[in-house]
Amino acid sequence: MTDFTYDLDADGVATITWDVPGRSMNVMSMAGFAELEALIDRGLAEAKGIVLTSGKKDFAGGMDLNVLAQMQAGGTQAVFDGIMETHRFLRKIERAGMDPKTLKGAKPIVCAMPGTGLGIGFEIPLACHRIIAADNPKAKIGLPEILVGIFPGAGGTTRLIRKMGVMLAAPFLMEGKLLSPKLAKAEGLIDEVVPPEDLLKRAREWVLGAKDTDLVKPWDQKGYKLPGGAPYSPQGFQTFVGANAMILGKTQGVYPAAQALLQAAYEGTLVPFDTALRVEARAFTGVLMDPTSSAMIRSLFINKEALEKGARRPALPDESVKVLGVVGAGMMGAGIAYVAANAGIDVILIDATQEAAERGKSHAEGILEKGLQRRKVTPEKKAEVLARITPTTDYTALAPCDLVIEAVFEDPAVKAEVTARIEAATGAILATNTSTLPISGLAKASQRPGQYIGIHFFSPVDKMALVEIIRGKKTEDRAVAKAMDLVRALKKTPIVVNDARFFYANRCIIPYINEGLRMVAEGVPPALIENAAKLLGMPVGPLQLVDETSIDLGVKIAKATKAAMGEAYPDSAVDEVLFKMADQGRMGRKAKAGFYAYDETGKRLDLWEGLGTLWPETQSPDLPTVQHRLLMIQALEAVRALDAGVLTDIREGDVGAILGWGFAPWSGGPFSWLDRIGAAKAVEICDTLTALGPRFQAPQSLRDMAAKGALFYAPLARAA
Ligand code: NAD
């Protein structure tokens, strides 16, 4: 089987078509590179020029990241050599037989992209002499590597910076910004956009008409100057100082890829092009051999994709949702109705009053309107999505549904009544969006507990990628398949967990918040707590998180948990802090007063000055101690969830932690983090922290792993 085919036409133009068998999207492998090079050599030898295109609707999705894992296994030198090989090959495309002195005699190589080109799928085009894309508004072009903990290392960094300058290239390299072909052309990433049916014709035409001067990249011409200025120019100086500060501010220094990228960019601009490629290769090798990138690639790419493709789906026929019922059109119900309608699913949206149901629909309208203003949504699309949502109070409208999600108040009695009314109206599978109540308990109100399941969306529904699917004791496989097929249609990531109070995500995030609150009660400076969390790469500190979710919700959960646990309730020290804040009316962001101060528009300012009066800052633990407390408390809860059978797959534990509550993404998730420090070290940290309370006692499973030197994952495929 071959990934590329070759065809030489009567005009002497060779067309190389990339079409990896058995895949919907082309990805590059080591064998693929070798094959492509052989065909490029052939074209350079016998053709007037070459058109490189794809036989699929898209050009290419990128490098097969499993290949990167294999490269890592070979060790540092092998990685560096492998990358330099890629540089050599892409440079061959770029020079295409040119005489290095006269810059003449090259054969034109044009890339004709029918659709999406990401990562190496854009780095190869960047090495070609011209990039022509089909006008396909769904296509995305760019370099998203930074999002999985690496950076463009096949010349993408060096070429894009040389093409656009550091400032203009920054959003594409440092944030992984992707553009449609039209916008990519407008911003100078590609050269031409043509109607899809003209793509190959236009590419061949360009090859036949290309002159010697069309084939010399600006950086290969005499007197080339970096757009926007080199580092030692007044503009360049400002760019790099600013970029350095911005990257440190954004990454807190825990993402090696961002810093390595900046280093490659900076050093690369000081030296000739071919040396810059070596600099890029050296920086990329460093990142690839860093455990952070391996862990991020594993969780955020390989395992996330496996879960999205249904790794945990029961092997049952398709259960795609045709008509979705949503009962309760509040914050969550309205959000669910929007994402479903946006994904092409018809939605019946019910609330107690017509007005409330309509309000739920207007939430969708609000999101679509914003999209319209940002030109991400067309007026037709807006109308189409809204037409799919039918707001009503009439339960009989649920009859055609095959899935109904209940998102009414978090009150078992209200949920029980609504469950009965839904089941009387339809034979659909019934899901609850509860965030705290055990599913098996709620299922007691159901006549069909086998068809009753938890589908826990996170807020805001349109932004959060994770959906937690919870099996009650009696939930049958068909309900799980139905829930997973809904999540797939919504393009979100599912994890499937077993039933227990708080399921998985909330079970881990609440101890994180509580640990922050305990430290406040102990007299640890709040700024130290918040900054320690941010320096760990947590998106928000525990106190800010309380403000975001509101103090009253914290009080409510604390009271309900205490009622359920009785004497065993361990969090009184936490409640004391929450209740004191509630007494002061500092209910969080929505009250514009919480652990933080807010201005009248609701913008968060500094930590509230009054905290020091309520809790004098008498303690000054060192930073690592505070960080260990904040990270270990979450990781231990993840291990306990695994031990208790709530989690049944560590991949879900890691992916769910990053997507669900932002657990330090650089670590790859709690299980990846524990593997990285090793179970023995983890137990040692726990043994030290246990002086603070039994919550830090290491589970026996972790002690057993420490004794055996065992890991949660099979060893990462890498050499030291
Ligand atoms: P909400 O108060 O914003 O909305 C609840 C809606 O249910 C209201 O519109 C209300 O009118 C409606 N309702 C109440 N009783 C009803 C009945 N008998 N028949 C029809 N409609 C009725 O609440 P929310 O924040 O959207 O939460 C809904 C559910 O989602 C809860 O179970 C909650 O635990 C869960 N949840 C909330 C969040 C969150 O961050 N808010 C996150 C995940 C899950």
Atom of ligand 1 nearest to the CA of 360: 9
Q: Which of 439, 368, 359 is nearest to 405 (CA)?
A: 439
d(CA 351, ligand 1 centre) in Å: 10
DSSP character at residue 588: B
Residues 463, 348 share a domain: yes
Tokens in use for 296? 């991020």
Average pLDDT over residues 199-213: 97
d(CA 433, ligand 1 centre) in Å: 8
Residues 480, 617 share a domain: no
Residue 309 lies in a domain: no
Residues 166, 29 share a domain: yes
d(CA 463, ligand 1 centre) in Å: 18
Determine the number of helices (DSSP H) and then strands (DSSP E) in the chain.
30, 21
- Compare 301 and 480 and report the one with higher pLDDT: 480
Single out the residue in 500, 515, 538 at which a domain terminates: 500
Determine the pLDDT at residue 624. Answer: 96
Residues 460, 520 share a domain: no
Which residues span the domain enclosing 619? 506-623
Residue 231 Cα distances to 164, 237, 269, 447, 711, angstroms: 14, 5, 7, 70, 45
Cα dihedral value 652, 657, 662, 665, nearest 10: -70
720 pLDDT higher than 60 = no
Averaged confidence pLDDT in the chain: 94
Q: Which residues have CB under 8 Å from 45's CB, separation 6+?
A: none
d(CA 395, ligand 1 centre) in Å: 17
Q: In terms of pTM, does the model score above 0.95? A: no
d(CA 441, ligand 1 centre) in Å: 18
Residue 271 lies in a domain: yes
d(CA 459, ligand 1 centre) in Å: 12
Alpha helices in 401-501, H assignment, sequence order: 412-425, 439-442, 477-489
Taking the CB of residue 715, how many other CB atoms lie within 10 A of it?
Answer: 8
d(CA 489, ligand 1 centre) in Å: 23
Identify the residue whose C-alpha is closest to ligand 1 atom 8: 330
375 pLDDT higher than 90 = no
Taking the CB of residue 567, how many other CB atoms lie within 10 A of it?
Answer: 5
Identify the residue whose C-alpha is closest to ligand 1 atom 12: 328
Identify the residue whose C-alpha is closest to ligand 1 atom 29: 407
d(CA 412, ligand 1 centre) in Å: 12
Residue 471 lies in a domain: yes
Q: What is the pLDDT of residues 659-698, one digit of tens each?
A: 999 999 999 999 999 999 999 999 999 999 999 999 999 9
d(CA 334, ligand 1 centre) in Å: 9
Residue 28, SS3 per DSSP: strand
As for ligand 1, residues whose beta carbon falls within 6 Å of it are 327-333, 350-352, 356, 407-410, 414, 418, 433-435, 457-459
Q: What is the pLDDT of residues 395-408, one digit of tens each?
A: 999 999 999 999 99
Residue 376 lies in a domain: yes
Atom of ligand 1 nearest to the CA of 410: 32
Average pLDDT over residues 14-38: 96
Average pLDDT over residues 376-405: 97
Residue 701 lies in a domain: no
Question: Of 408, 462, 547, which is best to mutate to test ligand 1, by the most ligand atoms within 8 angstroms of its C-beta?
Answer: 408
d(CA 559, ligand 1 centre) in Å: 19
Question: Of 326, 327, 331, 509, which is best to mutate to test ligand 1, by the most ligand atoms within 8 angstroms of its C-beta?
Answer: 331
Average pLDDT over residues 523-528: 98
Single out the residue in 500, 529, 557 at which a domain terminates: 500
Residues 486, 588 share a domain: no
Q: What is the pLDDT of residues 229-249, one digit of tens each?
A: 888 888 777 888 888 887 888
d(CA 333, ligand 1 centre) in Å: 7
Question: Of 433, 502, 550, which is best to mutate to test ligand 1, by the most ligand atoms within 8 angstroms of its C-beta?
Answer: 433
d(CA 646, ligand 1 centre) in Å: 25
Evaluate whether 717 touches 79 at the Cβ level (below 8 Å).
no
Atom of ligand 1 nearest to the CA of 393: 20
Residues 279, 336 share a domain: no
Which residue(s) pair with 347 in the sheet? 324, 389
177: confidence class by pLDDT, cuts 50, 70, 90: very high
Residues 178, 49 share a domain: yes
Strand order in the sheet with 429-432: 389-392, 346-350, 323-327, 403-406, 429-432, 452-457, 466-471, 493-498
Indicate the range of 42-46, 113-117, 372-376 predicted with least confidence.
372-376
Determine the pLDDT at residue 469. Answer: 98
Identify the residue whose C-alpha is closest to ligand 1 atom 3: 330
Atom of ligand 1 nearest to the CA of 459: 40
719 pLDDT higher than 50 = no
Q: What is the DSSP code string of 95-139? A: HTT--TTT---PPPEEEEESS-EETHHHHHHHHSSEEEEE--TT-
Evaluate whether 260 touches 284 at the Cβ level (below 8 Å).
yes
Atom of ligand 1 nearest to the CA of 353: 11
Identify the residue whose C-alpha is closest to ligand 1 atom 39: 459
d(CA 399, ligand 1 centre) in Å: 22
Cα dihedral value 646, 648, 654, 656, nearest 10: -60
Alpha helices in 566-697, H assignment, sequence order: 572-583, 611-614, 623-643, 650-661, 670-677, 679-689
Q: What is the pLDDT of residues 52-88, one digit of tens each?
A: 999 999 999 999 877 887 788 888 999 999 999 999 9
Residue 141 Cα distances to 118, 173, 513, 616, angstroms: 6, 12, 39, 53
Atom of ligand 1 nearest to the CA of 330: 4
| Type of residue at 317 | P
Identify the residue whose C-alpha is closest to ligand 1 atom 28: 407
Residue 249 lies in a domain: yes
Atom of ligand 1 nearest to the CA of 334: 26
d(CA 404, ligand 1 centre) in Å: 14
Determine the pLDDT at residue 124. Answer: 98
The CATH number of the domain where 376 resides is what?
A: 3.40.50.720
Residues 513, 465 share a domain: no
Evaluate whether 365 touches 338 at the Cβ level (below 8 Å).
no
Evaluate whether 131 touches 125 at the Cβ level (below 8 Å).
yes
d(CA 485, ligand 1 centre) in Å: 23
Identify the residue whose C-alpha is closest to ligand 1 atom 38: 459
DSSP character at residue 312: T
Which residue(s) pair with 391 in the sheet? 349
d(CA 507, ligand 1 centre) in Å: 20
Question: According to the per-residue pLDDT averaged within each range, which of 200-204, 435-439, 548-552 is highest?
Answer: 200-204
717 pLDDT higher than 50 = no
Residue 298 lies in a domain: no
Atom of ligand 1 nearest to the CA of 414: 18
Single out the residue in 473, 500, 527 at which a domain terminates: 500
Average pLDDT over residues 576-583: 92
Atom of ligand 1 nearest to the CA of 549: 40
| Count of the separate structural domains present in the chain | 3
Residues 582, 522 share a domain: yes
* First CA to last CA distance, the chain: 35
Q: Which residues have CB under 8 Å from 40's CB, separation 6+?
A: 16, 50, 89, 92, 93, 109
Identify the residue whose C-alpha is closest to ligand 1 atom 14: 408
Beta strands in 290-419 (DSSP E): 323-327, 346-350, 389-392, 403-406
Residues 148, 23 share a domain: yes
| Type of residue at 186 | A
d(CA 599, ligand 1 centre) in Å: 29
The CATH number of the domain where 229 resides is what?
A: 3.90.226.10
Tokens in use for 445? 């109100």
Taking the CB of residue 383, how many other CB atoms lie within 10 A of it?
Answer: 10
Residues 493, 511 share a domain: no
Tell me what percent of the residues of the chain surpass a pLDDT of 70.
99
Atom of ligand 1 nearest to the CA of 436: 34
Residue 328 lies in a domain: yes
Average pLDDT over residues 268-294: 94
Atom of ligand 1 nearest to the CA of 408: 7
The C-alpha angle 508, 512, 514, rounded to 5 degrees, equals: 115
Residues 133, 191 share a domain: yes
* Distance from C-alpha of 392 to C-alpha of 394, rounded to nearest angstrom: 5
